[in-house]
Amino acid sequence: MNLPDLGVGIVWLPGLEATIASSLDAWDLIEVEPQAFWTKAGARDDGRGNEPFRLNEGAFEQLCAQRRPVLVHSVGYAVGGSTPSDARNLPALRATFDRLKPAWWSEHASLQTTGCGEDRRALGFLMPPIQSRSSVDTIVDNIRRLQDDFGLPFAFETGVNYLRPRPGELPDSEFWGSIAERAGCGILLDLHNIWANERNGRQSVASVVEGLPLERVWEMHLAGGQPYKGYWLDAHSDLPPDELLALARRVVPQLPALHALVFEIVPDYLVHAGLDVGDLVRCGGVLHEIWSLRGSACVASSTETITREECDVLSVGDAALPSPEMWGTQIRHAVDRSAPSVDAPIDDPAVGIYRDLVDAVRMGTIADALPLSTRYLLLARGEDFFKALLQTYWSLHAPEAFMSEEARAFAEFLAEKDLLPHLDELLAFELAAHRAEMSGKVQRVHFTCDPNRFIQALKAGRLPEALPELEVEVEVTPHVEME
């Protein structure tokens, strides 16, 4: 496939915009996770999260103003499971492609949801698929549908997997290689993911690379991680460590069709890791040096396509493994604290790691979506109380797919309790701010105290002093600042 060489890039996420703009000379391209810059269209504002999505035009204008080629790395249309993708993503994803015109796009060969219709449940984190022949079939079918829907070159990411290999599963390299060959798509080789997999007891980086169809590796991701309870997490929490960079220097020369090398970091970790613009510029320089090595040690590779029958031979233990549908159900029962217990749970110590990761994502989502209400609860009742409250909520409510839905569900959970004066009004205010931003329409909220004194005290990090009774209706307009 004739794709352009785009060079070295960085992921574009909310909170990174100014830092990237200040270090722009270090980057040839930008890769965007588009769902982070979508809002609800507001066409059916039922308050239950059923609206389709639209592009946040201001955010996309800021992205386009950087005058760099843009790749799209989606995080809402994962291809690893048997559950149909959320149709609400489709119009906004198509609009994203029309606006940014990426040379190709990518998604995760992971599970995000299980079940269908009323039984559909979000998992709260990207989960690994079962590595079986049936799973290859499912993922290939999913990729082919996306290729037909969008007519745009597609690559899937080699995912991190904290679970131990199960007897009968395909090795990582054969699983990913079979998908790429049969789907006729590209591979986004996330080198930090497969290095984390090796560190956590799965296939080595060397054997994964040796077993992949390297002519299908279009893109590589590099990132930093961190240790947690005996595991190495793909946390995107720092600069790429020296050991990973050394691996990249050995792998990149073997890739004849590498068109992009992208660094990923979560905005919050810029502060936690003590990184500044200068660190990013130096990182970009190192990655350019690695980029210059691409294809320099390539050997002839086969272009033969793996057939369904050959894939059957590779997965001789497939009959002993759960179907993709059953695996999705088992994963949900393993990691969703609200799911009922089952007789044969997944027996793997990494289940606890995934539960912790889901908890962390959900807690971060609530804190980001309801910052004032979260601060009020922490100031008034303390961290232990707040964490116990979250544990109770998680035991009753499955994860939600989108921030606004998780915020609404948590607010409804709190509304059933009489925890703090005016908390219900504060929650209503923050939810109204989200609705105003999503719909572009003014919202109205009723307070029985002075909302300015209440909110300003919380913004200053202190509890409000005694608030006299006062009947006030507040108009909440789009772009209201809640922090």
Domains observed in the chain: 7-291 (3.20.20.150), 350-476 (no CATH)
Residue 298: the pLDDT is 66
423: enclosing H helix or E strand: helix 423-439
Q: What is the dihedral of CA 193, 196, 197, 198, to 10 degrees?
A: 130
Residue 307: the pLDDT is 41
Kindly list the distances between the CA atom of residue 120 and the CA atoms of 109, 117, 149, 285, 409, in Å, as whole numbers in the listed order: 19, 5, 23, 45, 16
- In a 3-state reduction of DSSP, which class is residue 100? helix
Residue 315: the pLDDT is 44
Rounded to whole angstroms, the Cα distance separating 192 from 222 reads 6
Which amino acid would we find at residue 132?
A: S
- Is the distance from CB of 60 to CB of 99 less than 8 angstroms? yes
Residue 74: the pLDDT is 94
Kindly list the distances between the CA atom of residue 480 and the CA atoms of 1, 46, 206, 428, 430, in Å, as whole numbers in the listed order: 46, 21, 51, 14, 9
Residue 441: the pLDDT is 83
Rounded to whole angstroms, the Cα distance separating 243 from 236 reads 15
* Total H helices, total E strands in the chain: 18, 16
pLDDT tens for each residue of the chain, 483 residues long: 799 999 999 999 988 999 999 999 999 999 999 988 887 655 444 444 556 788 888 889 999 999 999 999 999 889 998 887 777 778 899 999 999 999 999 999 999 988 776 678 889 999 999 999 999 999 999 999 999 999 999 999 999 999 999 999 999 999 999 999 999 999 999 999 999 999 999 999 999 999 999 999 999 999 999 999 999 999 999 999 999 999 999 999 999 999 999 999 999 888 888 899 999 999 999 999 999 999 887 654 433 433 444 444 444 456 689 999 999 999 999 999 998 887 778 899 999 999 999 999 999 999 999 999 999 999 999 999 999 999 999 999 999 888 888 989 999 999 888 899 999 999 999 999 888 877 778 999 999 999 999 999 999 999 988 888 889 999 998 865 555
Burial of residue 285 (number of CB atoms within 10 Å: 0-12, 13-18, 19+): exposed
| Closest CA relative to residue 410, chosen from 400, 418, 419 | 400
Residue 214: the pLDDT is 97
| Closest CA relative to residue 378, chosen from 369, 393, 394, 390 | 390
pTM: 0.89
Phi and psi torsions of 65, nearest 5°: -70, -15
Residue 44: the pLDDT is 46
Kindly provide the b/e burial profile for residues 425-437, where b requires at least 16 CB atoms within 10 angstroms of the residue's own CB.
bbbbbbbbbbbbb
| Closest CA relative to residue 262, chosen from 471, 1, 32 | 32
Provide DSSP, 210-247: HHS-GGGEEEEEEE--EEETTEEE----SSPPHHHHHH
Residue 480: the pLDDT is 52
Query: Which ranges of 184-321 does DSSP label H, i.e. alpha helix?
Result: 191-199, 205-211, 242-251, 267-272, 277-291, 308-314
Q: Which two tokens stand for residue 225?
A: 């991680």
Residue 236: the pLDDT is 95
Residue 405: the pLDDT is 85
> What's the chain's length in residues?
483
**Cβ neighbours around 87 below 10 Å, total:** 8
Kindly list the distances between the CA atom of residue 338 and the CA atoms of 32, 323, 334, 366, 432, in Å, as whole numbers in the listed order: 32, 23, 10, 17, 27
